[in-house]
Each structure stands twice: as structure tokens, then as C-alpha cells.
Amino acid sequence: MKSDEERVALVTGAGQGIGTVVARRLAAEGHRIGAHFFHGEETAHALVAEIQASGHDAVAVYGDLTQPDVPRHVVAKTVEDLGRIDVVVNNAGVTFSIPFRELSAAEVDECYRINFLAPLWVTRAAVDWMVAHGQPGSIVQITSVHQERVTDRDNIYGAMKAALARLTESLAYELAPQQIRVNCVAPGRIDTPEQAARRNSNPNRQRQIAAAIPIRRTGSSEEVAEVIRWLASDESRYVTGITVRVDGGLNLGMSQAVIDGRPHFI
């Protein structure tokens, strides 16, 4: 075990997609990593082995964050294994794209639990530990450009991301005296393995999407991870309560999309 002076970062949903890349980037920066997973067990354990092989401490922490006691358990397990907690990246989430009149009560509940309640209670558990130990910290919520913009069928998903962003502002204000910063990162269209599968199944659609983004390409998980690294570091020590959009200017093009007659922006 390395010195307790080395920061510990808990990344939820580290078993796949952006979460895996974020955990790897924070480890490269010197953080010890709590890699939470619910899906992607094999990837999470491979990630932990990779980080350990690079000379950094890492542990895999399993848990279904939609269950009431699991968020506190995930934080407690991270602290138990790594000694402290300095950074939380609430990355775990599920995208919902279902017409409003087709939504079931179970789908609404699932979206609410994983995209809003889970980051709320993980944040609460981590903040409780930080305050009790006089420990400054950085909380990063992964939201979405859908917190600000409307597309077809993003109803409950967009609402939950908007709610999380609004909660972040209140928490940033409330926790600033304890030197705990709370910010959001809102990705746009990012090339994850899931997006790669869609790209391969419909390359023309993906070219249309890229053309609708002002920078004229989709983003990478590494580009999202770099912003998170900055928010987790002392480089951003005077930054709290904001949302950083990592979207290639996607939100800037909404009005032109309407003028051009494109009803589905992305």
C-alpha cells in the first residue's frame, strides 16, 4: 500500500465505456483507484490488474447502485481498501430513448434510480466521510448535453440529467466552505464501444451525425477523461458548480438544425 497522501478516486461504472478510460487516466495521474462495476466484471478486473501492473493501487468494487444501501457500501469499501477518498466520478448511468407514451413505470423508476438517486447517494456517502475527516474533495457528475437540449424521446433521461446538474449547483454552494467542489461534465456524441457498434450498423447515419457537430466529428472517451482529470486536480481548485460540455460545439448548432429542417439532432 502506498502513502495515504496519494489521492484516492472512486469511479462508478468503471467496467465499461467512458468509466474505464476515466479510471485509467486518473491512475496515470497518480490516483489510487476504486473501480466500481455492476456490469462489465471482466473489464473491471482487467482494468484493476492493468493499473496495479503500472505501479498504482486499485481495487474493484461490485455493487448495484440502484439498491438503497449499495452506494454507501461502495464508498465504505473503497475507503476500507484504500484508506481514504478524495475524488468521486459518478459515471454509472443508463441511456433511455423511449417515446413518452410508451414509458413503463418500471423504466421511469430505473432511470430515476441509476441516473439521479445513485449519484446523489454516492456523493452523500463520500461527502460524509470527507467532512468527518476534514478532507477536501472533488465530485464530478457525468451528465449529458441532454440536460440542456431537447431531442426526440429523451424525456425522462434528459429530465434526470437536468435534475442532477441542478443538484450539483446546490451542492457546490453548500459544500464550498468544506473545500469540497462539485461539478458536471456533459458529454455529447462520444465514441464508446456501444457507439462503435451503432456506427458499424449504420455508417451513413453516423456520418450525418458527425456532419451536424460543429467540429465535424464525434468525441473520444479520452477527451472526456482529460476534462475530468482537470476537475479532479488542483488545477481547477477555484472551480465549482459548473457544467463543462464536451460536445464539439454540438449544442451550439441547435438553431441551425431547426432551420435546416433536421428534426432529430442526435
Digit-coded pLDDT (tens) for 2-14: 444 689 999 999 9
Give the sign of the dihedral formed by CA 169, CA 9, CA 144, CA 238.
positive
Confidence of residue 129 (pLDDT cuts 50, 70, 90): very high
Which overall architecture, per CATH, does domain 8-259 show?
Answer: 3-Layer(aba) Sandwich (3.40)
Task: Write out pLDDT tens, residues 38-91.
Answer: 999 999 999 999 999 999 999 999 999 999 999 999 999 999 999 999 999 999
Q: Stretch 141-151: mean pLDDT, rounded?
A: 86
- At residue 130, the pLDDT reads 98
Q: What is the pLDDT of residue 200?
A: 66
**pLDDT confidence of 182, banded at 50, 70, 90?**
very high
Indicate if the pLDDT at residue 17 is higher than 60: yes
Report how far residue 200's alpha carbon sits from residue 195's, in angstroms, rounded to the nearest whole number: 9
* Mean predicted confidence (pLDDT) in 147-156: 80
DSSP string, 23-75: HHHHHHTT-EEEEEESS-HHHHHHHHHHHHHTT--EEEEE--TTSTTHHHHHH
* Predicted local distance difference test score (pLDDT) of residue 3: 43
Q: Which of 112, 157, 173, 238 is catalytic?
A: 157
User: What's the CA gap between 71 and 139, in Å, rounded?
Assistant: 14
pLDDT over 70 at 264, yes or no: no
194, 173, 65, 79: which is closest to 120 by C-alpha? Answer: 65
Give the model confidence (pLDDT) of 222-253 as tens digits.
Answer: 999 999 999 999 999 999 999 999 988 888 86
Q: With bands split at pLDDT 50, 70 and 90, how would you rate the model's confidence at 265?
A: low
34 pLDDT band (50/70/90 cuts)? Answer: very high
Q: Any catalytic annotation for residue 238?
A: no
Alpha-carbon span 89 to 159, nearest angstrom: 20
Residue 262: predicted pLDDT: 61
Domain regions of the chain by residue span: 8-259
The answer to whether residues 10 and 59 touch, using CB atoms and an 8 Å cutoff, is no
Distance in angstroms between the alpha carbons of the first and the last residue of the chain: 45
Closest by alpha carbon to 231, among 31, 63, 78?
A: 31
Residue 36 to residues 50, 149, 161, 210, Cα–Cα distance (Å): 15, 29, 20, 31
Q: How confident is the model over 98-125, as a mean pLDDT?
A: 96
Question: Measured at the alpha carbon of residue 229, what is the angle toward residues 168 and 120, in degrees to the nearest 5?
Answer: 25
The mean predicted confidence, pLDDT, of the chain is 90
Percent of the chain clearing pLDDT 70 (strictly above): 89
Average pLDDT of the residues in 86-113: 94
Whether the CB-CB separation of 44 and 14 falls below 8 Å is answered with yes
pLDDT score, position 1: 34
**Which grid cell sits at 147?**
440536460
Handedness of CA 72, 188, 20, 56 (dihedral sign): negative
Residue 207: pLDDT over 50? yes
The answer on pLDDT for 256 being more than 80 is: no
